[in-house]
A and B are shown apart, each in its own frame.
Chain A
Amino acid sequence: NAGVMQNPRHLVRRRGQEARLRCSPMKGHSHVYWYRQLPEEGLKFMVYLQKENIIDESGMPKERFSAEFPKEGPSILRIQQVVRGDSAAYFCASSLTPVSSSGADYGYTFGSGTRLTVV
């Protein structure tokens, strides 16, 4: 049972290009979360998706960033017209269920990340 798979592992883009990051959740997981880790910073939540739905995008920059999780295939984080400040590690996580009403939770499984470098 493969874990959360992210590709590519490393991505280099010139300023103004588009970056497309892919995440395949663990088998059976239908909840996907994207986080960004800037140099010397902690991980910051970006977006939470279920199949075909964006549940919470409160951490997503308002412009240039978008995310999707189609019925078939991986979740995609898309960054248009990249700038140097977008250089970071982008992590995807998946979970089996969201937090239940009782507060029980099985936690997340994280992928190895995509390291984006904008030159």
Chain B
Amino acid sequence: KQEVTQIPAALSVPEGENLVLNCSFTDSAIYNLQWFRQDPGKGLTSLLLIQSSQREQTSGRLNASLDKSSGRSTLYIAASQPGDSATYLCAVRLYGGSQGNLIFGKGTKLSVKP
């Protein structure tokens, strides 16, 4: 059974710091891995999608890496800003089974202090 774990559960950093969020998954047979941002009371915003054949994706100050063999992904946020405060979720899409079935971690709640 696929399990997705995110560490740490919460993180508080001063503005300007570079930071890394971690995501691990137990079954390496995935189509892709997606990082989302969730603001309180809001929906999920897709940040980065990494296909299984890729090793990383970049968007602005965000960089996500994927190591399928070790079952790990990291989300790197450069020069953090208070507006980055949110909960960050990672989710994997499995081979086989339902094409619609994303497995989510519980998220990392990030707080960036001005």
Contact = CB atoms under 8 A, between A and B. Distances in A.
Would you list the 8 A-B pairs with minimal beta carbon distance, nearest first?
A: A48-B100, A56-B98, A112-B43, A110-B44, A98-B99, A42-B104, A43-B104, A42-B106
B-side interface size class:
20 to 34
Interface in B65-114: 89, 91, 93, 97-107
Interface of A: 4, 6, 31, 33, 35, 40-45, 48, 55-56, 58-59, 91, 93, 95, 98-99, 103-113, 115
A105 B31 contact: yes
5 contacts: A42-B4, A93-B44, A99-B99, A105-B31, A105-B51
Contacts of B104: 35, 42-44
Contacts of A106: 49
Contact of B43 (A31, A91, A98, A99): A91
